[in-house]
Amino acid sequence: MKASKNFWITFAGPFLVLIGLVGFVQRNGNDRIQAFPVFIIGFGLIYSALLERKQRRNKILSELKKPNETNKD
């Protein structure tokens, strides 16, 4: 398996969700709304990584399903 070039970015989504939750819990009243953008961006990063992984796996699967043309004589 190839090592990811963006190793630290993989932790950004969960950390942003955690920061958003902590900010939401610590604030009172209308100030809680300020924590939502961080929370939403964290979930967006997680979701985009899941979609990217799914596309990459589908691409690999389609390549494996192709007939091997180099071995035909």
23 Cβ partners below 8 Å, 6+ apart?
Answer: 34, 35, 38
pLDDT at 2 over 70: no
What's the confidence (pLDDT) of residue 47?
Answer: 93
CA 8 vs. chain centroid, Å, equals 12
62 three-state secondary structure: helix
Mean pLDDT of the chain: 85
Are the beta carbons of 28 and 36 closer than 8 angstroms? no
Going from N- to C-terminal start, the domains of the chain cover 31-57
Helix axes 9-26, 36-65, angle to 10 degrees: 150
What's the confidence (pLDDT) of residue 67?
Answer: 80
Mean pLDDT of 21-50: 92
Q: Which tops the pLDDT comparison, 67 or 46?
A: 46
pLDDT at 10 over 60: yes
